[in-house]
Amino acid sequence: MSDHHHKETFVTKYVFSQDHKMISKQYLITGIIMGVIGGFMSMLFRLQIAYPEESFSIIEAFLGRAGEGGVMTPDMYLSLVTIHGTIMVFFVLTAGLSGTFSNLLIPLQIGARDMASGFLNMISYWLFFLSSVIMLASLFIETGPASAGWTIYPPLSALPQAIAGSGLGMTLWLVSMAIFIASSLLGALNYIVTVLNLRTLGMKMTRLPLTIWAFFVTAIIGVVSFPVLLSAALLLIFDRSFGTSFYLSDIYVAGEVLHYKGGSPILFEHLFWFLGHPEVYIVILPAMGIVSEVLAVNSRKPIFGYRAMIISIIAIAFLSTIVWGHHMFVTGMNPFLGSVFTFTTLLIAIPSAVKSFNWITTIWKGNLQMNTALLFSIGFVSTFITGGLTGIILGDSALDINVHDTYFVIAHFHLVMGVSAIFGMFAGVYHWFPKMYGRMMNKDLGYLHFWLTSIAAYGVFFPMHFVGLAGLPRRYYSNTAFPIFDDLADINVLMTIFAIIGGLAQLIFLANFFFSISKGQKSGRNPWRATTLEWTTPVEHIHGNWPGEIPAVHRWPYDYSKTDENGDLWGGEDFTMQTVPIRDGEEEF
Amino acid sequence: MKALFYIIIFVIIIVACWQFVKLLGLTKVENQTATEKENNLNGWLLLGFMGFVYGLMIYSLIGYKDVLLPQLSASAEGHHIDVLFKLTMGLILIVQFIIQFVLFYFSFKYRGINNRKAYFFADSHKLETIWTVIPTIVLSGLIIYGLWTWNEIMDSSDSKDPLIVELYAKQFQWEARYAGQDNELGNANVRFIEGVNTMGVDFSDKNASDDIPLVVSEGNFVKELHIPKDRKVIFKLRSQDVLHSAYMPHFRAQMNCVPGMVTELAFTPTVTTAEMRLNEDTQAKFEHINVIRKEKGEEAVEFDYLLLCNKICGSSHYNMQLKIIVDEQADFNKWLATQKTFAQLN
């Protein structure tokens, strides 16, 4: 692995690279491109929701025949919400977030030359790339992309007679996701093996930065739950193509009775949510890890309750695998089962509350360095709390009945896992950009990006709760068919305006990101004065990460502003690198 | 091609952003990390942002009160839900208002100015115990109350003389069937669908002949579903093609319709349509709606209970509805007597 004199060609360095740092950049840029596409879709359907009868040339420009005359068709609306959800959850917040930061930080922060298997890591990225291409290709086919919602519940997703998107579009969706799952499993196994085996001398599990703990546990949840989605998808492929009846039974559609007998869509729902719920923690845990790290570095204080943070990550991960049924309270599942899932679901609020209080205590009496990464981390804590609290309503089976599948749910999960995870991802990008590209991102553009984004996020998703409480179901192409929803028009317009502001604000991020890669100011080796190992590597990337020996670790990663018995800072600095041995008279935390 | 034009515009905006900052950047000495001046500015902005968030929350809570569902639940079960909902919402709002304040206030107060020194504070078992135990106690209370409510709603085994109604969902309309004299629905399966028998009822089943369908034979949609006040209604739900969900927000009731199985939902209506129209919330809401409709040149409407589809089911998912009328029992019985049973129809 340390043969860094070996000649690199353009292809082995930039395309089929096995270097974790390059793979991490590939994940990030692919994730950003997918994010732009998924985000742009939401702009289009927000226009439709706010102005259902008006014509927009931008809709016609991008949707072609499905947007003839500037008004999108109902099928296209459903396709857009389906693909928006799929892209954002899987391609941006799973691959884009975990793929980028697990790859970048696991070797660098634990002190390893690379991932356990660079080759598998490369395969993992290229499978992700392939699945992205297939997903995007499905946008251009005659019958339109998948349109049964990102949860692809059969029978709708199984029957092209029921909706056009369930033809070739759905096939491509399933193929793309099967490849995606393979990619994600290869990545996750690699992360787990690397964290367990390749830690440098002195890097005990209890000296790992919380980022690594989060990525490690996330990878474990992924390995436990993604295969279940694969089997769900395979059985759906069987039902669609080979006439089996795993999910289908007693169906009459398009004037004829179908042969299916004995299957149940509820089986699919169980299998889907067995992944689907852990998935939201696969999305949020890495963001939590990043935020913990960024808050500690920029508060110039240790993270509060390091051990409690680790325990709550593990508790959340464990509970996340036994709460999936709360998505199914009103599906016809036995009500007793509903009671059990209510119990486990509300328990998950406890470790989440512990984490939130610990973040706030980390800020308390700190010396906050208000860079963009810290701002996004504070934003994360805020939106995570706002969105998380309404989870107490949705997780309670009795209360879920009346808000299930309404905009209340959309508001809840966008705040708690959408906006929060994206904020965590932005915090990570701004914080580790110097590590990735050896340059700094522009501060002023960063501040502007944060302020516009966070105002837009609250502006879109806070009022949305009330649309849900008014009883408006999600995935309605238009609510003009119901006079009782006429008074929601103003709120919908307001949310769309905020959404467009938020969308435009991302152009600022794109400008900052792409220009800073080549034009940004050169960064120092440790610009944020952090303690962790990645900042001991040279700014210029080299294969194998450290030119000489891998440094040994002597302490935990959060020795910020530690003072001796006289109240003076140890070493005269407000941070002590993990590589510094414990000094005479100093107590290890 | 026009799409390309839009993409070029976006790219130009991106380039312009960078050029603009570069112009500004020329005039000042760059410091790579946040300066005290920036810490101060962003600290104040965070405080301002807190103002924005609180303003938005308060504005939404007060200003959007009119658009919510009428406060009065139209079913006995819904009343239990409303009580639990108000309790939970109250708790959530209190926590939200306090915690957001603490977060933003600390962020502002400890912004890095005047050579501030951070305080090394890594652990406190006392604090952590407090914020593990308090949420645990509060959540336990909510869980117990929630499960009690859930059981009250879902358990309809002890109801006396319930009215049994089948709701039949299909792309994109609802049909219905009353159980008739014997109060038992005849068997049905999609394999019996033929001609006027749109719900696939098995006429060889003796329970079927007295069932009263709410489907008009010429293929007209069902216009209204009548149910009686103060009598438990048990809905048996079936679907013909894909998943649908029977959502009756005014009754706080929802259950999916699943092809291949019969699901169930039950409630006791407590407010007739006529009574709900006189309700203050409802009147205020509909006055508002009718003002909006008048501006758009649409005719005025009055309140009606609704059954909506709340599970994505295809192109016209957004318009799959059925009007529900809650009558006094005597009126309901009179109305039902005018409807024809299968025996009379065939």
Beta bridge partners of B253: B248
**Interchain CB contact of B222 with A (< 8 Å):** no
Given an 8 Å threshold on Cβ–Cβ distance, is A353 in contact with B247? no
Give the best residue of A401, A423, A462 to mutate against chain B (max B CB count within 10 A). A401
Q: pLDDT at position A241, please? A: 93
Given an 8 Å threshold on Cβ–Cβ distance, is A342 in contact with B146? yes
Given an 8 Å threshold on Cβ–Cβ distance, is A369 in contact with B293? no
- Using the structure block, give the residue that is written with the tokens 């926590």: B95
Q: pLDDT at position A1, please? A: 44
Mean pLDDT of A350-354: 94
% chain A with pLDDT above 70? 99
Residue A252 belongs to what H/E stretch?
A: strand A252-253
Nearest CA in chain B to A458: B53
Confidence of residue B155 (pLDDT cuts 50, 70, 90): confident
Q: What is the DSSP letter of B161?
A: S
Pick the CATH number of B163-345 from 3.30.160.270, 3.40.50.620, 3.40.1160.10, 2.60.40.420: 2.60.40.420
pLDDT in tens, B63-85: 998 899 999 999 999 999 999 99
Nearest CA in chain A to B283: A484
**Interchain CB contact of B314 with A (< 8 Å):** yes
DSSP-assigned states of every residue in B223-291? -EEEEETTS-EEEEEEESSS-EEEEEGGGTEEEEE-TTS-EEEEE-B-S-HHHHHH-HHHHHHHHHHHH
Please, what's the b/e burial string for B233-250 (b: 16 or more CB within 10 A of its CB; e: otherwise)?
bbbbbbbbbbbbbbbbbb
Q: Which of A506-510, B109-113, B256-260, B308-312 comes out lowest in average pLDDT?
A: B109-113
Interface of A with B in 545-574 (CB under 8 A): 558, 560-563, 574
**Interchain CB contact of B3 with A (< 8 Å):** yes
Nearest CA in chain A to B20: A445
% chain B with pLDDT above 90? 67
Confidence of residue B20 (pLDDT cuts 50, 70, 90): confident
Q: What mean pLDDT is reported for chain B?
A: 90
From B337's Cα to the closest Cα of chain A, the distance in A is 30
How many whole angstroms separate alpha carbon A192 and alpha carbon A77? 40
Chain A hits for B153, Cβ within 8 Å: 398, 401
Angle at A117 between CA A111 and CA A123, to 5 degrees: 130
Given an 8 Å threshold on Cβ–Cβ distance, is A363 in contact with B38? no
Nearest CA in chain A to B136: A350
3-state helix, strand and coil shares in percent for chain A, rounded to the nearest 5? 65, 0, 30
| Beta carbons within 8 Å of B171's beta carbon, 6+ residues apart | A162, A253, B240, B241, B242, B313, B314, B316, B320
CB pairs < 8 Å spanning A and B: 403
How many whole angstroms separate alpha carbon B11 and alpha carbon A589? 50
Please, what's the b/e burial string for A335-351 (b: 16 or more CB within 10 A of its CB; e: otherwise)?
eeebbbbbbbbbbbbbb
Angstrom CA distances, B340 to A248, A256, B220, B251, B336, stand at: 34, 27, 16, 28, 8
**Interchain CB contact of B323 with A (< 8 Å):** no
Beta bridge partners of A177: none
**Interchain CB contact of A55 with B (< 8 Å):** no
Nearest CA in chain B to A343: B143
| Beta carbons within 8 Å of A484's beta carbon, 6+ residues apart | A471, B285, B289, B303, B306
Chain B hits for A479, Cβ within 8 Å: 318
Given an 8 Å threshold on Cβ–Cβ distance, is A561 in contact with B15? no
Residue B315 CB neighbour total at 10 angstroms: 20
Q: Which two tokens stand for residue A578?
A: 């993990």
Given an 8 Å threshold on Cβ–Cβ distance, is A514 in contact with B14? yes
**Interchain CB contact of A75 with B (< 8 Å):** yes
Q: pLDDT at position B84, please? A: 95
Task: Please tell me whether the peptide bond between A107 and the residue prior to it is cis, using omega within 30 degrees of 0.
Answer: no
Burial of A524 (0-12, 13-18, 19+ CB in 10 A): middle
Look up residue B186 and give its amino acid: G
How many whole angstroms separate alpha carbon A44 and alpha carbon A23? 32
pLDDT in tens, A209-245: 999 999 999 999 999 999 999 999 999 999 999 999 9
Angle at B259 between CA B255 and CA B264, to 5 degrees: 30
What residue spans define the domains of chain B? Answer: 163-345
**Interchain CB contact of A168 with B (< 8 Å):** no
Instruction: Report helix angle B125-154 to A335-347, nearest 10.
Output: 160
pLDDT at B217 over 50: no
How many whole angstroms separate alpha carbon B205 and alpha carbon B185? 9
- Using the structure block, give the residue that is written with the tokens 């912004």: B111
**Interchain CB contact of B345 with A (< 8 Å):** no
Torsion, Cα of B342, B310, A481, A81 (10° steps) = -140
B301 → closest Cβ in A308, A483, A514? A483
Given an 8 Å threshold on Cβ–Cβ distance, is B99 in contact with A356? yes
Given an 8 Å threshold on Cβ–Cβ distance, is B34 in contact with A443? yes
Q: pLDDT at position A8, please? A: 75
B306 → closest Cβ in A266, A368, A484? A484
Delineate the domains of chain A, giving CATH numbers in brackets.
22-38+73-263 (1.20.210.10), 524-589 (no CATH)
pLDDT at B130 over 60: yes
| Beta carbons within 8 Å of A76's beta carbon, 6+ residues apart | A63, A66, A67, A144
Burial of B294 (0-12, 13-18, 19+ CB in 10 A): exposed
pLDDT at B31 over 90: no
Chain A hits for B13, Cβ within 8 Å: 504, 507, 511
Nearest CA in chain A to B149: A398
Confidence of residue B25 (pLDDT cuts 50, 70, 90): low
Q: Which of A26-40, A323-337, B36-50, B152-166 comes out lowest in average pLDDT?
A: B152-166
Mean pLDDT of B243-250: 96
Q: pLDDT at position A2, please? A: 45
Given an 8 Å threshold on Cβ–Cβ distance, is B312 in contact with A475? yes
Given an 8 Å threshold on Cβ–Cβ distance, is B106 in contact with A61? no
From A462's Cα to the closest Cα of chain B, the distance in A is 7
Residue B45 CB neighbour total at 10 angstroms: 18
- The ipTM of this complex is 0.94
How many whole angstroms separate alpha carbon A240 and alpha carbon A242? 6
Q: What is the C-alpha end-to-end distance of chain A, expressed in Å?
A: 34
Please, what's the b/e burial string for A188-204 (b: 16 or more CB within 10 A of its CB; e: otherwise)?
bbbbbebbeebbbeebe
**Interchain CB contact of B58 with A (< 8 Å):** no
Given an 8 Å threshold on Cβ–Cβ distance, is B85 in contact with A447? no
- Using the structure block, give the residue that is written with the tokens 């009022």: A463
User: Does residue A183 sit in helix, strand or coil?
Assistant: helix
Which parts of chain B are beta strand (E)?
Answer: 163-170, 173-178, 212-213, 224-228, 233-239, 244-248, 253-257, 263-267, 305-309, 321-327
Q: pLDDT at position B30, please? A: 61
**Interchain CB contact of B124 with A (< 8 Å):** yes
**Interchain CB contact of A330 with B (< 8 Å):** yes
Given an 8 Å threshold on Cβ–Cβ distance, is A447 in contact with B42? yes
Q: pLDDT at position A177, please? A: 96
How many whole angstroms separate alpha carbon A548 and alpha carbon A479? 65
How many whole angstroms separate alpha carbon B199 and alpha carbon B221? 13
pLDDT in tens, A80-102: 999 999 999 999 999 999 999 99
Q: Which of A338-342, B152-156, B320-324 comes out lowest in average pLDDT?
A: B152-156
Task: Please tell me whether the peptide bond between B172 and the residue prior to it is cis, using omega within 30 degrees of 0.
Answer: yes
Interface of B with A in 145-184 (CB under 8 A): 146-147, 149-151, 153-155, 170-171
How many whole angstroms separate alpha carbon B346 and alpha carbon B343? 5
Q: What mean pLDDT is reported for chain A?
A: 93
- Using the structure block, give the residue that is written with the tokens 């209204």: B224
pTM, two decimal places? 0.95
